[in-house]
């Protein structure tokens, strides 16, 4: 058995990663491949940087019918499904609630929260409850703290945390585990959707004094996906450089 630079074996595990062309999603895809998994990434558009040993599927994760069909097709491509990572996300509007439109609110929740339900629901039709299945949802510290000027994003990520806790408890008597990861600032292009002032404010809340990296998120995801994470489900794992207080 050959695995990559990390110590977690995902040998022959079959994985779908939504938002897989984004920086966090692609970092998770890389580490899963290093660990021996077979990986399909979903996104709206394929990027030129995509590794050749990945398969890609263009999927609108806000469309339930599209997700159901894509998940069935992915299981056919891979030979089954063991791992789902819900990493699709958008920052949404960065302004006061009084200045939102209804469409902006709905669109932000559709990508960040409703898609997690759609994809998890579809995956559960295919995962074998007697096998070591994993659903890993990328939430945010904003879902715990509530970031001003980011109400829609904060609300959606709080929903992801609650959904992960509820689903993890529902499946606790199976071999399927469900977790969420709640990062603080991570060095991705999403930072460019925030004002410099908002980035500085959030960075100042991190005792380590820096943003995290996509690879650091991926390292945690690899452990959560592995058999080493066996006596935990429905948990939220902070990756905040010390910012999280509960």
Proportion of the chain above pLDDT 90, given as a percent: 82
H helices of the chain, in order, are 23-34, 64-78, 102-109, 115-124, 142-145, 151-170, 196-204, 214-225
Query: Domain for residue 2, yes or no?
Result: no
Please say if the pLDDT value at position 233 is more than 90. Answer: yes
Residue 90 burial class via C-beta count within 10 angstroms: exposed 0-12, middle 13-18, buried 19 and up = middle
Give me the residues paired with residue 17 across strands: 41, 85
Known catalytic residues are 153
Query: Domain for residue 246, yes or no?
Result: no
Over the stretch 201-223, which tens digit does the pLDDT of each residue have? Answer: 889 999 999 999 999 999 999 99
Residue ranges making up the domain that contains 55: 14-239
What is the per-residue pLDDT for 2? 41
Query: Domain for residue 6, yes or no?
Result: no
Please say if the pLDDT value at position 1 is more than 50. Answer: no
Candidates 238, 155, 148, 151; CA nearest to 198 is 148
**CA distances (Å), 190 to each of 61, 91, 202, in order?**
18, 7, 13
**CA distances (Å), 170 to each of 80, 128, 174, 215, 228, in order?**
22, 15, 9, 30, 21
Give the whole-angstrom CA distance, residue 57 versus residue 71. Answer: 10
Write the CATH number for 233: 3.40.50.720
Query: Domain for residue 157, yes or no?
Result: yes
- Contact between residue 32 and residue 222 where contact means Cβ atoms under 8 Å apart: yes
> What's CA 226's distance to the chain center, in Å?
16
Give the whole-angstrom CA distance, residue 142 versus residue 181. Answer: 12
Query: Domain for residue 141, yes or no?
Result: yes
Query: Domain for residue 193, yes or no?
Result: yes
Over the stretch 103-154, which tens digit does the pLDDT of each residue have? Answer: 999 999 999 999 999 999 999 999 988 787 999 999 999 999 999 999 999 9
Please tell me the pTM assigned to this model. Answer: 0.93
Query: Domain for residue 245, yes or no?
Result: no
Q: Which residues contact 72 (CB under 8 A, 6 or more apart)?
A: 122, 126
The phi and psi torsions of 57 (rounded to 5 degrees) equal -140, 130
The phi and psi torsions of 214 (rounded to 5 degrees) equal -55, -35
Proportion of the chain above pLDDT 70, given as a percent: 97
Query: Domain for residue 82, yes or no?
Result: yes
**CA distances (Å), 92 to each of 12, 109, 181, in order?**
36, 9, 19
Q: How many domains does the chain have?
A: 1
């Amino acid at each position: 058995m050959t695995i990559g630079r990390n110590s977690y074996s995902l040998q022959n595990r079959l994985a779908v990663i939504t938002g897989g062309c984004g920086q966090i999603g692609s970092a998770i895809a890389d580490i899963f491949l290093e660990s021996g998994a077979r990986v399909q990434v979903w996104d709206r558009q394929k990027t030129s940087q995509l590794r050749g040993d990945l398969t890609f599927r263009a999927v609108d994760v806000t469309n339930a019918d599209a997700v159901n069909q894509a998940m069935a097709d992915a299981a056919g491509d891979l030979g089954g499904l063991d791992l789902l990572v819900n990493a699709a996300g958008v920052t949404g509007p960065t302004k006061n609630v009084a200045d939102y439109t209804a469409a902006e609110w709905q669109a932000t929740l559709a990508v960040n929260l409703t898609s997690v339900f759609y994809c998890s629901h579809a995956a559960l039709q295919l995962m074998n409850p007697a096998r070591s299945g994993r659903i890993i949802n990328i939430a945010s510290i904003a879902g715990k703290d509530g970031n001003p000027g980011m109400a829609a994003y904060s609300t959606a990520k709080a929903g992801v945390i609650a959904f992960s806790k509820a689903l993890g408890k529902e499946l606790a008597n199976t071999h399927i585990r469900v977790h969420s990861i709640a990062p603080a600032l991570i060095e991705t292009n999403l930072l460019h959707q925030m004002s410099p002032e908002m980035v500085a404010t959030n960075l100042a809340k991190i005792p380590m004094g820096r943003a995290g990296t996509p690879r650091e998120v991926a390292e945690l995801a690899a452990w959560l996906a592995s058999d080493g994470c066996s006596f935990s489900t429905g948990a939220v794992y902070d990756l905040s450089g010390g910012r999280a207080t509960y």
